Chains A and B, each alone.
Chain A
Amino acid sequence: MSASFSTSAARNIFFGGTVFFVLMFLALTYDTEQKLPQRDQRAQLANPAVAAGKRVWENNNCIGCHTLLGEGAYFAPELGNVYKRRGPDFIKAWIKSQPTGVPGRRQMPNFHLTDKELDDLVAFLKYASEINTANWPPNVEG
């Protein structure tokens, strides 16, 4: 790099540029927070089952095999839209009947969830499926 461009100039550009883009990012975060209520279905959080369902989701590490809105592990199907793909009764019956025990097939553990936990989880998955995700996934298979 040319000698006319000094280290202290490089350092100043670094600090100046960083501060500028940090502020930009914070401003965008603020704007996003303002716009989220139109998209994130937060009204559904008034139902305590949704938050309780999120806890069931987290405490059993479902994300360790599945994706949720495309984030997580890629071992098992997308669940952000499973409420739309399968409906509440199928979801509960499925979870209760695990593992399938089919030889060689990928296995999902049985988490011994109570009926209340199953209902909470379904409420959470319904909520997740109604978030405005800009039409993602491309089709119902996730």
Chain B
Amino acid sequence: MQYKSQMVAKPYFIGALVLFVAQILFGLIMGLQYVVGDFLFPHIPFNVARMVHTNALIVWLLMGFMGAAYYMVPEESECELYSPKLALIMFWIFLAAAGLTVVGYLAVPYATLAKITGNDLLPTMGREFLEQPTITKIGIVVVALAFLFNLSMTFLKGRKTSITTVMLLGLWGLAIMFLFSFVNPDNLVRDKFYWWWVVHLWVEGVWELILGAILAFVLIKITGVDREVIEKWLYVIITLSLITGLIGTGHHYFWIGTPEYWQWLGSVFSALEPVPFFAMTLFAFNMVNRRRREHPNRAATLWALGTGVMSFLGAGVWGFLHTLSPVNYYTHGTQITAAHGHMAFYGAYVMVVLTIISYAMPLMRGRAANSNASQVLEMWGFWLMTISMVFITLFLTGAGILQVWLQRVSTTPMGFMATQDQVALFYWLREGTGLVFMIGLAVYLFSFFKDGKSAA
């Protein structure tokens, strides 16, 4: 760590990991409700658990990105952060807003929350992933603006590298696309059309810039490969992301009332979306193979390589699986979607945040890398979580294939609920694997407390 102000990243990383735990706990609750339908009913209905699960995920990834930016930008710019104090204040505001929102979800019925937060004045609630009360959304915008101001000022006064340029473009894009969460026409088709401008243009658009920039930063540090080479890769990858991903949005415009030419455009462009993810895999492996130093932090190297592989599997392979419109006609909105959503979010965004945490946390705690014992534990956490996620994905895919077959392909289609009963075995297997994931997360977190200092 070269600049004191990089330390503001630390609370962001810790906050992110705390929310990660909450996310997984509520995932396990839902996983059980899938098979024991009345579990915790009426105290925590499924939809409430789902909001906590998905919103905690999004917020902790945002915190991870913010922490990453606060760590990377001063070091790349070769100057202190514009205002470390503002960064810390914003952290607490963000955490409080997230905490209050979760309390709101759990403490009162959603309709009550909508009423007391004045949703009818500017209705934005009740849409998937955007369930937050309008006031929370405004809070997110305020935090994001303060964050972007702080980083952009730092960027402007210091050295401008390709990595910070791409990172800031991605973060500005993230904030700008989020403004579409305030667009909620009564016309359902238009509502859905612009809803995807937040969801798809995040994960298959601007977030890929952030992903690429974080990965590039960590790879420069741990491999010592020339910046020139890494930055070229970075630009090639993000170019591929945007030229496929923008019109690739069309893979969500097949069946929501939009014109049918989207079936062609969406299928063709999104079928190319795996290419940048594959480039990311090659990038990570190539750079590590050409390394000029043996960095003592082997765990961070493992996370970086893991991101390369798992993002390709989750987004690239599992995305391609259901992205052509004739296939999507049958798989749309089934467990296949859930399978893909899990591995893509984990493989790309969870893993890249854990990569930067793995690299930066030891440095912020005053050492180049953790002790061998601590790294071994961290790597156990890596393998337990990653392998569990592979199996969760496989079980959900199994459930999805059966579901499609029984409910949609069959000449005597079964009803939704009857079909769910038929595939319960897969849900049990998913829940068991989810428990292993939780154990992996516990081992991972424990590695932070394991005598870190003794080496390096």
> A21-B242, A63-B127, A109-B45 in contact; A40/B257 too (CB < 8 A)?
yes
Residues of A within 8 Å of B138, CB to CB, are none
B226, chain A: closest CB distance, angstroms? 11
> A55-B123, A128-B188, A141-B413 in contact; A72/B235 too (CB < 8 A)?
no
Residues of A within 8 Å of B37, CB to CB, are 104-107
* Chain B, 227-249, CB within 8 A of any chain A CB: 228-229, 231-233, 235-236, 238-239, 242-243, 246-247, 249
* Selected contact of A78 from candidates B186, B257, B414, B416, CB within 8 Å: B416
- Asked if B42 and A58 make an inter-chain contact with CB atoms under 8 angstroms apart, the answer reads no
Residues of B within 8 Å of A97, CB to CB, are none
How many residues of chain A are within 8 Å of chain B by beta carbon? 75
A3, chain B: closest CB distance, angstroms? 9
> A14-B239, A63-B127, A107-B45 in contact; A25/B110 too (CB < 8 A)?
no
Asked if A93 CB lies within 8 Å of chain B CBs, one says no
Asked if A84 CB lies within 8 Å of chain B CBs, one says no
- Asked if B123 and A22 make an inter-chain contact with CB atoms under 8 angstroms apart, the answer reads no
Residues of A within 8 Å of B192, CB to CB, are 69, 71
Asked if B263 CB lies within 8 Å of chain A CBs, one says yes
Query: A103-118 toward B: CB 8 Å interface, digit per residue (1/0)?
Result: 1111111010000000
- Asked if B416 and A138 make an inter-chain contact with CB atoms under 8 angstroms apart, the answer reads no
* Selected contact of B333 from candidates A17, A60, A74, A109, CB within 8 Å: A74
- Asked if B50 and A7 make an inter-chain contact with CB atoms under 8 angstroms apart, the answer reads no
Interface stretch among B20-28, B334-342, B360-368? B334-342
Cα A54 to Cα B125 in complex, Å, equals: 11
B14, chain A: closest CB distance, angstroms? 29
Query: B359-388 toward A: CB 8 Å interface, digit per residue (1/0)?
Result: 000000000000000000000000000000
> A7-B228, A7-B232, A36-B258 in contact; A42/B408 too (CB < 8 A)?
no
Asked if B210 CB lies within 8 Å of chain A CBs, one says no
* Selected contact of A21 from candidates B48, B120, B247, CB within 8 Å: B247
Residues of B within 8 Å of A39, CB to CB, are 189, 257-259
Residues of A within 8 Å of B415, CB to CB, are 77, 141
Cα A101 to Cα B38 in complex, Å, equals: 8
* Selected contact of A73 from candidates B46, B115, B332, CB within 8 Å: B46
Cα A31 to Cα B126 in complex, Å, equals: 28
Residues of A within 8 Å of B162, CB to CB, are 7, 11
- Asked if B338 and A131 make an inter-chain contact with CB atoms under 8 angstroms apart, the answer reads no
A116, chain B: closest CB distance, angstroms? 15
- Asked if B257 and A55 make an inter-chain contact with CB atoms under 8 angstroms apart, the answer reads no
- Asked if A42 and B187 make an inter-chain contact with CB atoms under 8 angstroms apart, the answer reads yes
Asked if B136 CB lies within 8 Å of chain A CBs, one says no
Residues of A within 8 Å of B258, CB to CB, are 32, 36, 39
Cα A63 to Cα B131 in complex, Å, equals: 10
Cα A107 to Cα B110 in complex, Å, equals: 16
* Selected contact of B125 from candidates A18, A59, A70, A133, CB within 8 Å: A59
Cα A63 to Cα B40 in complex, Å, equals: 20
* Chain A, 68-88, CB within 8 A of any chain B CB: 68-78
B37, chain A: closest CB distance, angstroms? 3
B188, chain A: closest CB distance, angstroms? 6
Residues of B within 8 Å of A45, CB to CB, are 186-187
* Selected contact of B255 from candidates A22, A40, A59, A136, CB within 8 Å: A136
Cα A55 to Cα B127 in complex, Å, equals: 11
Residues of A within 8 Å of B409, CB to CB, are 138
Cα A78 to Cα B332 in complex, Å, equals: 11
Residues of A within 8 Å of B332, CB to CB, are 70, 136-137
Asked if A51 CB lies within 8 Å of chain B CBs, one says yes
* Chain A, 121-142, CB within 8 A of any chain B CB: 127-128, 131-134, 136-142
Minimal Cβ-Cβ distance residue in B for A36: B189
* Selected contact of A28 from candidates B47, B243, B247, CB within 8 Å: B247
Residues of B within 8 Å of A58, CB to CB, are 114, 119, 123, 125-127
Cα A133 to Cα B325 in complex, Å, equals: 13
Residues of A within 8 Å of B265, CB to CB, are 28
- Asked if B51 and A64 make an inter-chain contact with CB atoms under 8 angstroms apart, the answer reads yes
Cα A99 to Cα B40 in complex, Å, equals: 13
Residues of B within 8 Å of A142, CB to CB, are 407, 416
22 of the cross-chain contacts (CB-CB < 8 Å) are A7-B232, A7-B235, A10-B236, A25-B246, A31-B259, A32-B259, A39-B258, A51-B186, A58-B123, A58-B126, A70-B255, A71-B256, A71-B333, A76-B46, A103-B38, A106-B37, A109-B45, A133-B256, A136-B329, A139-B408, A139-B413, A141-B408
17 new A-B contacts, CB < 8 A, other than A17-B242, A57-B126, A73-B50, are: A7-B231, A17-B239, A54-B188, A59-B126, A64-B131, A67-B333, A72-B333, A73-B46, A74-B337, A75-B34, A75-B47, A77-B415, A102-B38, A107-B42, A111-B109, A137-B255, A141-B415
Which residues of A are interface residues toward B (Cβ below 8 A)? 1, 5-7, 10-11, 13-14, 17-18, 20-22, 24-25, 28-29, 31-33, 35-36, 39-40, 42, 45, 50-51, 54-55, 57-65, 67-78, 99, 101-109, 111, 127-128, 131-134, 136-142
